[in-house]
Each structure stands twice: as C-alpha cells, then as structure tokens.
Amino acid sequence: MSPKILTGIKVLDLTNVLSGPFTTLHLALLGAEVIKVENPKGGDLARCLGIVPELNKRLMGTSFIAQNCNKKSITLNTKSAEGKAIFLRMAKDADVVVENFRPGVMDRLGLGYKALSAINPKLIYCAISGFGQTGPDALKPAYDQIIQGLSGEMAVNGDERLNPLRAGFPVCDTVGGLNAAFAVMAALYHRERSGEGQYIDIALLDSIMPLMGWVAANLLIGKQQPVLMGNDNFTAAPSGTFRTMDGHINIAANKQEQWEAVCDVLGCPELKADPRFQERDTRKRNRKQLTPLLEAKLAGKSTAAWVDELNAKDVPSGEILDLEQALRQPQMIHREVLKSVPLEGFGEVEVFGLTAQFEKTPGTVETPPPTLGEHNAEIYSGLGISEIELVELKTKGVI
C-alpha cells in the first residue's frame, strides 16, 4: 500500500455539518487519523440531514455520508467534568484540533487554544466560524446562505429578472472548509521546520471573498460596479450560453482567433468584418446584437454536433449537463472522482474521493463514514479506560 502524506497525524474533530467536516475529510483522505468527537445525544447534526428518511433515522444521513469517510467516531460530553478531563488527555498527543463553534464556546468549556497549547505546545488549533474570532460581527450566527448574502456573491448572480440569486450548493461552507484544510497543511509544514504549533482563525466570510477576485478588481481598481449578465461572461464575447437546435451550449471565445473560428464554423464569416464585432471590446459592448445572430446559426444543429466542431477548431465549448449526467460523464469515470464504499445494512454508496492525484502519496476512500460512537472502545481503551469504566461513563452520559 502506498504511503499517505498525513500518516501518523492525529486530528481531533469537533466540527458539525459542513465547513469543518469538509476540512477534516480532506485530512482523512490524505491519511490522517481523524477522530470525530461527537455529542452523545445525536452527534453531528448532519447525521439526520438528508433526503433518505431511513438513513436519517439511523443517524447516517446523506449529508453526513458525503463528508465523513475515513474518520473514526467517539461520543463525549465535553460539558461534563469527566468529559473535559478525557478530552484533555486526548489533546496531549494530538497534532490538530478543528472546531466550528461560535467564538468563545471552547474557551468557556476550558478547552480553547490557550488551555490546550499549555499542555501541548506543538498543537495546531483551527477554529472555523462565520465571521472569525474577532470584529463587530464575530458573535453573530451564520449559515452558508447568510454568508452568501453578506459576501456580495448573491448580488452578482443572475440577471435583471432573477437577482439576488444564491449558488445552488453551499459554496461558502465548502470554500471555508477548503481554506481551513489548506491552512492546517501549511501549519503542519511550518511545524516540521520550527517545532511550533499555532492557532488558525478561519472565517467563512473571509474565505469566499477572494473567489470574486476579478469582479472585485474591476470595482476596486477600475471603479466599475458588477453588471448582471446572467450566463454571459463579462470578460469576452461571444462567451456564455447560447441556444441550439436541441438545447444550449457554452462557448468561450475569449481570444480574437477563437472569435474568428466561431464565425468560420458557424458559417458567418461576414461577422468578422462587421465593425460592431471586429474587436474584443466592441464585441462586448454589442453582445446583445451579436447573440441572436449566432443563435440563428446554432439553431441548425444539435448541441453535441456544435461542441465537436467548435472544439476541433480550438474554441472551448461544452454541453450543459444536469447533475446526473455530470457525475456519469466519461471524464469523471476515467478520473475516478467517485468511490464506492459499503454502508452496513444499506449497500454500496458513492462518495467523492480526493480529487488531487498524487503520484507517490495518493489519498483515497478506505472506510465508510462511522456510526455514532463506533470507535469508543478502540480510542478509549488506548487511553487506558477499562470496559467497566466505559459502561459507567455511558451510564452517566459522559460518552
């Protein structure tokens, strides 16, 4: 078996729902031992979130399955004195702690970075929250939709008929999780060189903003407010979505030679000499006049036919797939983006694996998401807690 980049790294994961679990999923796929520390009363909220009622009742909701392969699960009431003591014992030799509570929660429990770093100076502690640990909005509640609105992301989507418009998936939670995973990896690299642990403060609002770099740069530097363009690309024309005989096609003719190739392929070479469309900036200004001329030609063939012809001339183009088609397209199958894992009592389920393909240290899905408290005996016995003590702790509600 190939070595994993994070083999030997122990992560204590106190996160719930999406941003934090998405962070620790990537660490787990890279080989870290990720131990989910869950509330004995139901565990991670995502366990009961999903479209399959049977799985929700079993605390294995589809939302949980999507983010928690390769992890171990223990139950622990960190609000109890005994639970705190157990967590502190675990933290002494942990490499990373990740949590996504509101600011101050872990400190009030006596389990914040200050307390943990005092017993483990090499610890990397990553706190994920909506707005960060400091600032006027730090203590406000936040879900993905709230951050989408406050980031300006919803304001730049759609067109004059449909705006504001949220992204169709929780983009802020997801990007926040990726940012946190990147930060933890960077902190581990720093620790390799210096021996120092450190505190990481990740805000979902901070994380999403740089993704709008081009749009923001036009405003910050060019003083141009975002223009609602729907499926058109503001950087070039023709670049966007166009109607064909049987549906729609995405065309991205961002270069002058690509624009000219579009004219040749569609059989309208005269447009190359039209003063409204000759140069990039004039085409952008006149895109509303250009689009119907192109769609009149595109109506003559199917989307698939145009995709083949345009790509053959180095004009980036593609079909617009629904999610099922996207997941099953040959390129995704070739890249093995989806992995199958067995879910006890349910059968095989498909989940996403690690999409970064490492030549020497590949990461992959090895175990299905854990049932709540599945690894209590394994983890707690490693701390020297006997079976009799485990029964007592369970009776008390500590685990």
What amino acid positions are annotated as catalytic residues? 173
Tell me which amino acid residue 396 is. K
Report residue 198: phi and psi, to 5°.
-165, 170
For residues 298 and 306, what is the distance between their CA atoms, to the nearest angstrom?
Answer: 8
User: In the chain, which residue ranges form alpha helices assigned H by DSSP?
Assistant: 19-29, 53-57, 62-67, 81-91, 105-108, 113-119, 144-150, 171-194, 204-208, 213-220, 256-266, 280-285, 287-298, 303-312, 323-328, 330-335, 376-382, 387-396
∠ CA 366-369-375 to the nearest 5 degrees? 95
In Å, how far are 22, 231, 245, 252, 289 from 248, measured between CA atoms?
Answer: 33, 11, 8, 13, 18
For residues 76 and 344, what is the distance between their CA atoms, to the nearest angstrom?
Answer: 23
- Indicate the pairing of strand 71-75 with strand 96-99: unpaired
Name the packing angle between helices 256-266 and 303-312 (round to 10°).
Answer: 130
* DSSP letter assigned to residue 355: -
3-state class (DSSP) for residue 315: coil
Sign of CA dihedral 174, 112, 16, 12: positive
In sequence order, which residues have a C-beta less than 8 Å from that of residue 11 and are 6 or more positions away?
24, 27, 28, 32, 33, 34, 35, 94, 95, 96, 97, 98
- Indicate the pairing of strand 33-38 with strand 10-13: parallel
